[in-house]
């Protein structure tokens, strides 16, 4: 699999550079619903966090919910979250759980491939590869999580091709001063596949990547 991705990256480097995207992330309304629902059972310690199946969520995600002081109670069941026995939110189903995906993009002589697989409602396993002429390839693997407070507001990016905004799910990982964010979504009413954006520092000899200075990644 690694050799195949390296070949794909080298092919991307050889191609003509794609147009740079220099657009700011637009603000759009939240897609998460909020309405009255049946109260969750109060069977956790002090009723703070009730989880039907902890394997559906990362330990770090659950720990942050337990530690927060802004909300009184959370109930988790699959892709459903109930907050304070009243408001509901749903985990995005993009990218789908269990599906291995590859995203690629290039700018000038730099080509990037992101391989990921979502393993539960909150977490993806990822591998990021960077290739540029005259430099050894950069390779990093890890896990990234959705924010426990995703329900407070939606994230969106703008398509390099259509200029239309689309909702994204952001998975993040932090280690010391090193930060990685992988944003996955899909334009409405299209069949072009999933789209991605990468925000990342600590890339060895490669420059930092942010939303504005590197193109949209496309599903292969």
Q: Give exposure, 153-173, as e/b (b: 16+ Cβ within 10 Å).
A: ebbbbbbbbeeebbbbbbbeb
| Closest to 30 (Cα-Cα) out of 123, 169, 145 | 169
Burial 24-61 (b: 16+ CB within 10 A, else e): eeeeeeeebeeeeeeebeeeeeebebbeeeeebbbeeb
Q: Return the top range by mean pLDDT from 11-15, 41-45, 96-100, 154-158.
A: 96-100
Lowest mean pLDDT among 46-60, 109-123, 171-185, 194-208: 46-60
pLDDT for the residue 110:
97
Determine the average pLDDT of the residues in 94-120.
Answer: 97
Annotate 67-135 with three-state secondary structure.
HCCCCCCEEEECCEEEECCCEEEECCCCCCECCEEEEEEEECCEEEEEEEEECCCCEEEEEEEEEECCC
Query: In the chain, how many H helices and how many E strands?
Result: 2, 13
How many other β-carbons are positioned within 10 Å of the β-carbon of residue 220?
A: 12
Using the predicted structure, report yes or no on whether residue 40 has a pLDDT greater than 60. Answer: no
**Domain spans of the chain, in order of start:** 2-29+94-219, 45-90
Do residues 78 and 56 touch, judged by C-beta distance below 8 A?
A: yes
CB 137 within 8 A of CB 130: yes
What are φ and ψ of residue 65, in 5° steps? -65, -40
Global pTM reads 0.78
Bridge partners (DSSP) listed for residue 207: none
At residue 140, the pLDDT reads 98
Q: List the one residue out of 112, 90, 92, 111 whose CA is nearest residue 186.
A: 92
Phi-psi region of 50 (alpha: psi -120 to 50; beta: other; left: phi over 0): beta
Q: Note the pLDDT tens digit of each residue in 108-146.
A: 999 999 999 999 999 999 999 999 998 999 999 999 999
Q: What is the mean pLDDT of residues 81-92?
A: 96
Is residue 165 very low, low, confident or very high in pLDDT (cuts 50, 70, 90)?
very high
């Amino acid at each position: 699999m690694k050799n195949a991705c390296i070949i794909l990256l080298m092919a991307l480097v050889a191609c003509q550079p794609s147009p740079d995207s220099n657009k700011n992330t637009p603000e759009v309304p939240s897609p998460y619903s909020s309405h009255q629902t049946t109260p969750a059972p109060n069977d956790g310690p002090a009723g703070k966090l009730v989880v039907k199946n902890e394997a559906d969520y990362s330990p770090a995600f659950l720990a942050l919910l337990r530690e927060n002081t802004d909300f009184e109670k959370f109930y988790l069941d699959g892709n459903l979250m109930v907050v304070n026995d009243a408001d509901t939110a749903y985990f995005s189903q993009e990218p789908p759980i269990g599906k291995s995906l590859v995203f690629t993009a290039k700018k000038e002589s730099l080509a990037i491939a992101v391989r990921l697989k979502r393993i539960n409602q909150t977490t993806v396993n990822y591998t990021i590869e960077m290739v540029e002429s005259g430099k050894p390839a950069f390779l990093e693997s890890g896990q990234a999580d959705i924010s426990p407070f995703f329900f407070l507001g939606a994230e969106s990016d703008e398509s390099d091709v259509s200029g239309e905004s689309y909702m994204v799910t952001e998975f993040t990982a932090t280690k010391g001063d090193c930060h990685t964010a992988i944003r996955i979504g899909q334009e409405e009413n299209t069949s072009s596949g999933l789209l991605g954006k990468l925000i990342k520092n600590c890339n060895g000899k490669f420059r930092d990547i942010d939303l504005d200075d590197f193109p949209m990644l496309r599903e292969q």
